[in-house]
């Protein structure tokens, strides 16, 4: 019979701690929502305006995540080279606040002052699908998961999730520009940002591909 070695050391998993980026962008998104909510009188219009502002904040953080990697290839900005994953986690934090701002008010919404109105079917589908993609993006942006599933699988997950959100912001912007909507310069601006982010990614990939053969 094998004797137990009581002196053996068993590693216990360290408790999960949110990163500074995750906390910062969560608090920033909450502040943006609260500001929009207050500016429109703490009513239904305030909830809609605050939610809209958080979604637009997400587009800015997403754009930063797209360009921060290519910018980190510049000698003077090399410190930014490994910040892309952190920005993607910050983007997921902003979207978490966005989903909460959609869900929580609607759970207590009252239609005609009689009964809870709940959440519409279209909103439910959007939240479930986009929320699932957000979870995939958040997991793929974690280096610990990449060490477990492999870099190829992690890059594939990141690529699919990033492409989805790029299409979301681009197509929503184009729909508002071309459709019968009230003029809003934000949508033109968001489409321009998505194009710049895409070009920055292509340029970084092109430079990397040119360097590999020379090495």
Residue 215 lies in a domain: no
Averaged pLDDT for residues 33-57: 90
Asked whether residue 10 is assigned to any structural domain, the reply reads: no
Average pLDDT over residues 129-157: 84
Is 78 part of any domain?
yes
Domain region containing 191: 20-110+117-202
Judge whether residue 135 has pLDDT over 50. Answer: yes
Whether 158 is in a domain gets the answer: yes
Q: Is the pTM of this model over 0.75?
A: yes
Q: Which residue has the higher pLDDT, 148 or 111?
A: 148
pLDDT at residue 56, as a whole number = 95
For residues 134 and 95, is the Cβ–Cβ distance under 8 A?
Answer: yes
Residue 8 lies in a domain: no
pLDDT at 80: 67
Asked whether residue 209 is domain-assigned, the answer is no
CA 99 to CA 91: how far, in whole Å? Answer: 12
Output the CA–CA distances (angstroms, integers) from residue 189 to 146, 154, 164, 175, in the order listed: 34, 31, 19, 13
The answer to whether residue 14 is domain-embedded is: no
Number of domains in the chain: 1
Domain annotation covers residue 190: yes
């Amino acid at each position: 019979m094998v004797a137990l070695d009581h002196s053996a050391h068993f590693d216990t998993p360290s408790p999960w701690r949110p990163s500074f980026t995750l906390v910062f962008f969560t608090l920033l998104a909450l502040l943006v929502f609260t500001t929009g909510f207050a500016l429109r009188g703490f009513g239904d219009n305030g909830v809609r305006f605050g939610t809209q502002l958080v979604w637009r904040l997400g587009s800015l953080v997403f754009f930063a995540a797209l360009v921060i990697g290519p910018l980190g290839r510049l000698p003077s900005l090399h410190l930014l080279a490994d910040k892309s994953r952190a920005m993607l986690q910050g983007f997921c934090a902003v979207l978490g606040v966005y989903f909460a701002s959609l869900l929580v008010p609607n759970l207590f919404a009252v239609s005609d002052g009689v009964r809870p109105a709940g959440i519409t079917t279209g909103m439910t589908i959007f939240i479930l699908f986009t929320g699932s993609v957000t979870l995939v993006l958040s997991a793929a942006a974690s280096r610990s998961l990449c060490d477990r599933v492999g870099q190829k699988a992690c890059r594939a997950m990141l690529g699919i999730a990033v492409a989805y959100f790029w299409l979301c912001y681009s197509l929503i912007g184009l729909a508002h520009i071309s459709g019968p909507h009230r003029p809003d310069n934000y949508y033109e601006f968001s489409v321009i940002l998505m194009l710049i982010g895409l070009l920055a990614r292509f340029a970084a990939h092109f430079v990397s591909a040119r360097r590999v053969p020379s090495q």
